[in-house]
Structure 1
């Protein structure tokens, strides 16, 4: 029987210490942190404002109050953030593939 060639073991320490990996982490952090903070601030503003103030009770369009407009805007905000993240994640995936190629060869 033929012996199989042992696959090159992955050196995760080398990957973590590489400049490309550090660049990937930095770019991900610079993208995800501000968007996450914005999401949480926007998301929790509605329940806080409706619970402790009457600011959103005034009519915006006919009988529709600003609370309903704000609530609908949360759906739009979520979709927009998902689209933005999906597009940026594709760029992150390219960077990961480059790191893998570099480590293999």
Structure 2
């Protein structure tokens, strides 16, 4: 896949230190962190809940549907959760990429 060209022609180089010091970039990082940290915490808790609950409790070993226990349902839900979180992340990461490119464009205009 071809990379999008977003650096204007005639721009000699990008001063990434200037970009990193800009208020616009700091706000961008804050928004990105505000999305990534809760999502990561949710994923880790949901992921480690299965081995913890199966090791230290008995409620997941009870039948849910016929002979299928809650453990199997919870384990299957983890696969679904991974696909859903991946789709959410890809969509959000694309918007983060566009925003980062816009920040760099704005910094280049300010040269």
TM-score by length of 1: 0.89
Q: 1:54, CA displacement in angstroms?
A: 1.1
Q: Residues 1-105 of structure 1 correspond to what in structure 2 (within 5 A)?
A: 8-105=12-109
Unaligned 5+ residue runs, structure 2?
1-9
Tell me which structure has the larger Cα radius of gyration.
1
Give the secondary-structure state (helix, strand or coil) at the position aligned to 2:12: coil
Q: What value does the CA root-mean-square deviation take over the aligned residues?
A: 1.4
Q: 1:103, CA displacement in angstroms?
A: 2.0
Count of equivalent residues: 100
Structure 1 stretches of at least 4 aligned residues deviating more than 3 Å after TM superposition: none
Give the secondary-structure state (helix, strand or coil) at the position aligned to 2:64: strand
Give the secondary-structure state (helix, strand or coil) at the position aligned to 2:104: helix
Unaligned 5+ residue runs, structure 1?
1-5
TM-score by length of 2: 0.84
Give the secondary-structure state (helix, strand or coil) at the position aligned to 2:30: helix
